[in-house]
């Protein structure tokens, strides 16, 4: 039981905090498991935030979630400390965003890879199946054995989306191609187990795969290492990972989480941020495949031409890529 006088003081205090919050713009970001240096999904988000800081000189607050209980606390804490916009990276944050967004209706939230239907939440999703399709094409074109692999992180619809797009892309090039699919696990720990990733990759290589695509965060590091050790090709995910093992990484299914983060911060700063769903695909340059000096040698001009053709066809709607729907 709080005494009336104390509650009044609290009210004034929280009012003061609200005022201070409204007065200046303060961005914040909450990363998911794997951490901001996972060289993949979270790192991409972190790069967007860092770029915003460099361009505007405005510092941002950040938090790396290391256990599930921290999400809500971290977000509420950031909101209480006066963050005006909080970007939540990753689908696992959805329930925390839903709860905290209701609690702090004045704070704006952008969630990536999930949909939260609230008046102060923007939900950014990507059409990963489109970039996965292109990577599947690249894999099938580069494969000599006609067998390609896919290693997913946690077994969730999002990762199935990658797998389905990849399979369709590979079959588009070579209908007889064999695609091996493995998931690392069914808990968030599956994002951070490179030893298991390497083991899965080795098992696929043992069955004849010579190109392996991972959508597994940190676990993917093990996949790419195993592919390199065996002299095979791998395909990176989310961030451009071509530089990790030059010549052994065929390409990366780039997901521009950095652009989404950067845009959320900038829009909020300029007052143009809008709640509701945002979907980014090839047409919006939200996803794509990477081509740089590190993988120039493994992507032949013919492959490049075919990939760009397919890219244009997907954008125009000539090629339809199915989206995985959870039953």
Partner 1 sequence: METYTLIVLLLAATIRVATPLLLAAIAGMFSERSGIIDLGLEGKMLGAAFAAASVSAVTGSAWLGLGAGILTAVALALLIGFACITHRGNQVVAGMAVTIMVSGLGPTLGLAWFNLGGQTPQLDGPGQRFTELAWPWAEQARALPFPGLLYAELLGGHNLIVYLAAALVPFSAWVLYRTRFGLRLRAVGENPHAVDTAGISVNALRYQAVAISGVLCGVAGTYLSTAASAGFVRDMTAGKGYLALAALIFGKWRPWPTLGACLLFAFTDALATRLQGVALPIVGVIPVQFILALPYVLTVLLLAGFVGKAVAPKAIGVPYAKEK
Q: Does 237 bind partner 1 (CB under 8 A)?
A: no
The residue from 116, 200, 211, 259 that contacts partner 1 (CB under 8 A) is 200
The residue from 32, 47, 62, 64 that contacts partner 1 (CB under 8 A) is 64
Q: Does 322 bind partner 1 (CB under 8 A)?
A: no
Nearer to partner 1 (CB atom), residue 244 or residue 310: 244
Q: Does 203 bind partner 1 (CB under 8 A)?
A: yes
Q: Does 245 bind partner 1 (CB under 8 A)?
A: yes
Site string for partner 1, 27-56 (x = CB under 8 A): --------xxxx------------------
Q: Which stretch binds partner 1 (CB under 8 A): 19-27, 52-60, 86-94, 217-225?
A: 217-225
Q: Which stretch binds partner 1 (CB under 8 A): 91-99, 108-116, 122-130, 174-182?
A: 174-182
Q: Determine the Cα–Cα distance for residues 245 and 213; give it in Å rounded to an integer.
A: 14
Q: Determine the Cα–Cα distance for residues 238 and 170; give it in Å rounded to an integer.
A: 19
Q: Does 311 bind partner 1 (CB under 8 A)?
A: no
**In the complex, least distance from residue 192 CB atom to partner 1, rounded to whole angstroms:** 6
Q: Does 185 bind partner 1 (CB under 8 A)?
A: yes
The residue from 180, 284, 304, 324 that contacts partner 1 (CB under 8 A) is 180
Q: Does 182 bind partner 1 (CB under 8 A)?
A: yes
Nearer to partner 1 (CB atom), residue 87 or residue 314: 87
Q: Does 193 bind partner 1 (CB under 8 A)?
A: yes
The residue from 112, 141, 227, 244 that contacts partner 1 (CB under 8 A) is 244
Contacts of 294 (CB under 8 A, 6+ apart): 242, 243, 246, 247, 249
| Count of residues that interact with partner 1, criterion CB under 8 A | 33
The residue from 93, 129, 143, 225 that contacts partner 1 (CB under 8 A) is 225
Q: Does 25 bind partner 1 (CB under 8 A)?
A: no
Q: Does 258 bind partner 1 (CB under 8 A)?
A: no
Rounded CA Rg of the chain = 21
**In the complex, least distance from residue 247 CB atom to partner 1, rounded to whole angstroms:** 12
**In the complex, least distance from residue 229 CB atom to partner 1, rounded to whole angstroms:** 7
**In the complex, least distance from residue 106 CB atom to partner 1, rounded to whole angstroms:** 31
Task: Read off the tokens for 256.
Answer: 């521009």
Task: Assign 3-class secondary structure to the chain.
Answer: CCCHHHHHHHHHHHHHHHHHHHHCCCEEEEECCCCCCCCCHHHHHHHHHHHHHHHHCCCCEEEECCCCCHHHHHHHHHHHCCCCEEEEECHHHHHHHHHHHHHCCCCEEEEECCCCCCCCEEEEEECHHHHHHHHHHHHHHHCCCCEEEEEEEECCHHHHHHHHHHHHHHHHHCCCCEEEEEEEECCHHHHCCHHHHHHHHHHHHHCCCCEEEEECCCHHHHHHHHHHHCCCEEEEEECCCCCCCCCCEEEEEEECHHHHHHHHHHHHHHCCCCCEEEEECCCCCCEEECCCCCCCCCCCHHHHHHHHHHHHHHHHCCCCCCCCCCC
Residues found near partner 1 in the complex (CB under 8 A)? 35-38, 64, 66, 155, 180-183, 185-186, 189, 192-196, 198-200, 202-203, 206-207, 218, 221-222, 225, 229, 244-245
């Amino acid at each position: 039981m709080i005494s009336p006088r104390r509650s009044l003081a609290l009210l004034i205090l929280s009012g003061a905090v609200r005022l201070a919050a409204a007065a200046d713009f303060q961005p914040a970001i909450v990363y998911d498991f794997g951490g901001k240096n996972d060289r993949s999904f979270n790192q991409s988000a972190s790069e967007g935030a860092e770029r915003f800081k460099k361009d505007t000189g405005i510092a941002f607050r950040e938090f790396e979630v290391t256990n599930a209980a921290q999400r809500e606390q971290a977000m509420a804490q950031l909101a209480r400390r006066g963050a005006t916009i909080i970007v939540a990276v990753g689908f696992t944050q959805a329930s925390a965003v839903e709860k905290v967004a209701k609690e702090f209706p004045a704070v704006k939230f952008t969630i990536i890879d999930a949909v939260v239907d609230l008046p102060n939440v923007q939900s950014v999703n990507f059409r990963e199946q489109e970039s996965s399709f292109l990577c599947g094409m690249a894999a099938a074109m580069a494969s000599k054995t006609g067998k390609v692999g896919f290693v997913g992180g946690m077994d969730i619809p999002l990762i199935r989306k990658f797998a389905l797009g990849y399979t369709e892309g590979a079959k588009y090039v070579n209908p007889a191609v064999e695609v091996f699919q493995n998931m690392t696990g069914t808990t968030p720990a599956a994002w951070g187990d490179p030893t298991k990733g390497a083991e899965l990759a080795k098992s696929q290589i043992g069955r004849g795969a010579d190109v392996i695509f991972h959508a597994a965060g940190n676990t993917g590091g093990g996949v790419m290492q195993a592919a390199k050790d065996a002299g095979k090709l791998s395909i990176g995910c989310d961030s451009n990972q071509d530089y990790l093992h030059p010549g052994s990484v065929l390409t990366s299914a780039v997901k521009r989480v950095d652009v989404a983060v950067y845009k959320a911060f900038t829009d909020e700063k300029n007052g143009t941020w809008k709640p509701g769903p945002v979907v980014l695909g090839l047409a919006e340059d939200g996803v794509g495949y990477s081509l740089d000096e590190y993988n120039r040698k493994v992507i032949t001009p013919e492959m490049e031409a075919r990939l760009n053709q397919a890219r244009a066809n997907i954008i125009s709607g000539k090629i339809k890529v199915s989206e995985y729907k959870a039953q």
